[in-house]
């Protein structure tokens, strides 16, 4: 019955599903320590840890139409990965699905946003310890250090808010001032509280369709140390749950990136799996059966 190779409870056919899981085992742009290519399968394995029944909402995941496409194929360069992920994800939006993409380093996120139909308004909540706002990093415009920049170029600078930042270069801060990117630092979240932070972020964004890009390093390494570039003074796992719960009714896509299983005992993979399920449960609760 259990198929540990797939995401838990992903029993629906593609045609019947609303939530479609896709893995992107790519970590070639990682700048500190590699391993995020093992993220998708580790997150899937850990997803089987949880009851299908969600105690908080009463939703049973067994009743929610989820499909798992498996992992996107082999890639050489970041450009190849970007092209391939765009081609995988674009039909999902066209078919009315909500893609849940498991990375992989954060370079895998922009193509998931770029695949969204042009002309349809889209806002992005970008959760990250890092600003990821370099125009290019080590000569690579598709580096994971540039992902917020690429996404902002796609959706418009005013349609993305980065939450949880506690690391940026001087050049990134200058670019943020010049180009008008909005970010809310982890220190602000800590002072202000997550509820007020999310409300403030959502007031800035168009409300229709929201895409969430979750770099797991936004969470404090005390909760999620299994990641490529751990950064202290982060958000709690409960803070991220709160963001997902608030945004879920308007969610059109989610990615969870930078889970790097070699660096912990599985707790970061378990958290990522639980947050993916949280997004699915809350979205399903808001929308009802498809
Ligand atoms: Mn990132
Ligand atoms: Mn990061």
Query: Ligand 1 centroid vs 217 CA: distance in angstroms?
Result: 7
Residue 217, domain CATH: 3.40.800.10
Task: Indicate the pLDDT class of residue 264, thresholds 50, 70 and 90.
Answer: very high
pLDDT digits (tens, 9 = 90+) for 229-260: 999 999 999 999 999 999 999 999 999 999 99
What is the number of the ligand closest to the CA of 164?
Answer: 2
Tell me whether residue 263 is in a domain: yes
Query: Ligand 1 centroid vs 172 CA: distance in angstroms?
Result: 13
Query: Ligand 2 centroid vs 217 CA: distance in angstroms?
Result: 5
Tell me whether residue 84 is in a domain: yes
pLDDT digits (tens, 9 = 90+) for 170-225: 999 999 999 999 999 999 999 999 999 999 999 999 888 999 999 999 999 999 99
Tell me whether residue 12 is in a domain: no
pLDDT digits (tens, 9 = 90+) for 38-87: 999 999 999 999 999 999 999 999 999 999 999 998 888 999 999 999 99
What are the CA-CA distances from residue 196 to residues 131, 163, 204, 283 (Å)?
21, 12, 13, 21
Query: Ligand 2 centroid vs 105 CA: distance in angstroms?
Result: 9
| pLDDT of residue 2 exceeding 60 | no
In angstroms, the CA 151 to CA 113 distance is 7
What are the CA-CA distances from residue 98 to residues 21, 68, 279 (Å)?
9, 12, 10
State which residues form the domain around 251: 19-286
* Number of CB atoms found within 10 A of residue 89's CB: 26
Tell me whether residue 118 is in a domain: yes
Query: Ligand 1 centroid vs 59 CA: distance in angstroms?
Result: 31
Nearest to 235 by CA among 202, 192, 203: 192
pLDDT digits (tens, 9 = 90+) for 89-116: 999 999 999 999 999 999 999 999 999 9
What are the CA-CA distances from residue 74 to residues 26, 34, 83 (Å)?
9, 17, 12
What is the number of the ligand closest to the CA of 110?
Answer: 1
In angstroms, the CA 285 to CA 233 distance is 32
Query: Ligand 2 centroid vs 146 CA: distance in angstroms?
Result: 10
Nearest to 249 by CA among 68, 90, 53, 98: 98
pLDDT at position 30, please? Answer: 86
What is the number of the ligand closest to the CA of 217?
Answer: 2
What is the number of the ligand closest to the CA of 167?
Answer: 2
| Bridge partners (DSSP) listed for residue 67 | 11, 20
Our CA dihedral for 186, 192, 194, 198, rounded to 10 degrees, sits at -90
pLDDT at position 32, please? Answer: 87
CA angle 152, 136, 27 (to 5 degrees): 90
Q: Indicate the number of domains in the chain.
A: 1
pLDDT at position 4, please? Answer: 56
In angstroms, the CA 22 to CA 43 distance is 11
In angstroms, the CA 150 to CA 154 distance is 6
Tell me whether residue 13 is in a domain: no
Neighbours of ion ligand 2 (CB under 5 A): 128-130, 215, 217
* Number of CB atoms found within 10 A of residue 56's CB: 11
Task: Indicate the pLDDT class of residue 1, thresholds 50, 70 and 90.
Answer: very low
Query: Ligand 2 centroid vs 281 CA: distance in angstroms?
Result: 26
Tell me whether residue 14 is in a domain: no
pLDDT at position 208, please? Answer: 86
What is the number of the ligand closest to the CA of 104?
Answer: 1
Tell me whether residue 51 is in a domain: yes
Query: Ligand 1 centroid vs 12 CA: distance in angstroms?
Result: 31
pLDDT at position 289, please? Answer: 84
pLDDT digits (tens, 9 = 90+) for 155-180: 999 999 999 999 999 999 999 999 99
Query: Ligand 2 centroid vs 53 CA: distance in angstroms?
Result: 31
Tell me whether residue 8 is in a domain: no
User: Peptide bond preceding 229: is omega within 30 degrees of 0, i.e. cis?
Assistant: no
Query: Ligand 1 centroid vs 119 CA: distance in angstroms?
Result: 26
Query: Ligand 1 centroid vs 28 CA: distance in angstroms?
Result: 14
What are the CA-CA distances from residue 108 to residues 5, 97, 163, 251, 266 (Å)?
21, 19, 19, 19, 22
């Amino acid at each position: 019955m259990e198929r540990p190779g797939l995401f838990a409870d992903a029993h629906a056919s593609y045609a019947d599903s609303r939530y479609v899981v896709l893995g992107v085992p790519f970590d070639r742009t990682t700048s500190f320590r590699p391993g995020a290519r093992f993220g998708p399968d580790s997150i899937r394995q850990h997803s089987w840890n949880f009851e299908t029944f969600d105690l908080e909402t009463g939703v049973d995941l067994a009743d929610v139409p989820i499909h798992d496409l498996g992992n996107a194929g082999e890639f050489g360069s970041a450009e190849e990965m970007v092209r391939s992920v765009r081609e995988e994800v674009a039909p999902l939006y066209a078919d009315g699905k909500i893609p849940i993409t498991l990375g992989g380093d954060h370079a895998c996120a922009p193509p998931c946003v770029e695949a969204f139909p042009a002309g349809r308004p889209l806002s992005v909540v970008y959760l990250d310890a890092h600003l990821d706002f370099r125009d290019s990093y080590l000569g690579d415009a598709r580096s994971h250090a540039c992902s917020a920049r690429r996404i902002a170029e796609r959706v418009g600078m005013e349609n993305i808010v980065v939450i949880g930042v506690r690391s940026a270069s001087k050049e990134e801060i200058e670019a943020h001032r010049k180009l008008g990117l909005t970010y809310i630092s982890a220190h602000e979240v800590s002072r202000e509280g997550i509820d007020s932070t999310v409300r403030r972020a959502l007031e800035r964004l168009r409300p229709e369709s929201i895409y969430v890009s979750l770099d797991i390093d936004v969470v404090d390494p005390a909760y999620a140390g299994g990641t490529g570039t751990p950064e202290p003074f982060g958000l709690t796992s409960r803070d991220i749950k709160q963001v997902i719960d608030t945004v879920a009714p308007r969610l059109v896509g989610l990615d969870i990136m930078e889970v790097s299983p070699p660096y912990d005992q599985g707790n970061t993979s378990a958290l990522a799996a639980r947050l993916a399920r949280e997004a699915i449960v809350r979205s399903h609760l808001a929308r009802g059966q498809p």
